[in-house]
Amino acid sequence: MPLFYSGLVILFTLPVDFSDIPVLADDMHKFILLAFVFLLHLPGTTVPAHRAILVARCEVMAAMFNGNYMEAKSVLIPVYGVSKETFLSFLEYLYTDSCCPAGIFQAMCLLICAEMYQVSRLQHICELFIITQLQSMPSRELASMNLDIVDLLKKAKFHHSDCLSTWLLHFIATNYLIFSQKPEFQDLSVEERSFVEKHRWPSNMYLKQLAEYRKYIHSRKCRCLVM
């Protein structure tokens, strides 16, 4: 006899043990929940995703969907603290194991999302992307860019991105003349400021020696003109 369940037809061959029907129905319900889920992103916006993939790729989501949480039995799952664009990039990584941020800002947003859901490999990919982008910028572009490098540093520290935060401190120190002129330089903590001053380049000693050398060259030119 046929059993109708959520649009599916299950055919039984007699004899049938009808005591198993509630168990079978419960199993089918779990299967449907596992196969597909809607993730609520922003008010009025839903993003479809396969629950099985999220469980397999993200330990935090696996705990949410398999544990005694509300999400385990829900079809509509609320997602907080992440923009639609960032979460779509996050889902792209879970599905394809690759990501291509549009820029440094998006990479940092994706890094924060990866830290939130404890996807460490994605976090490392975002770190590498940010470092590569900043390294490739010429000095003139670094001086004119609107990106707040100190804010980037503080976000990296807050979200436990130790590799990126350490690199950013060295980057600020080795580009001292550029970043020391920016207003956000004053937002460095006492400890960070001390590190930057200690490892800055060019150093005070170098600048002093350079000034003395230029003064010496200038005096020789003047002497030659007199002669």
What is the Cα–Cα distance from 85 to 62, expressed in whole angstroms?
22
pLDDT tens by residue, 15-31: 545 455 566 666 655 55
pLDDT tens by residue, 118-177: 999 999 999 999 999 999 999 999 999 889 999 999 999 999 999 999 999 999 999 999
pLDDT tens by residue, 70-114: 777 777 788 888 888 899 899 999 999 999 999 999 999 999 999
Record the tokens describing residue 75, joined without a space.
Answer: 């079809």
- Per-residue pLDDT at 6 exceeds 90: no
Query: What type of residue is 209?
Result: Q
pTM of the model: 0.76
Q: Which of 201, 183, 195 is nearest to 157 (CA)?
A: 195
Please provide the average confidence, as pLDDT, over all residues in the chain.
Answer: 82
- Is 173 in contact with 200 (CB distance < 8 Å)? yes
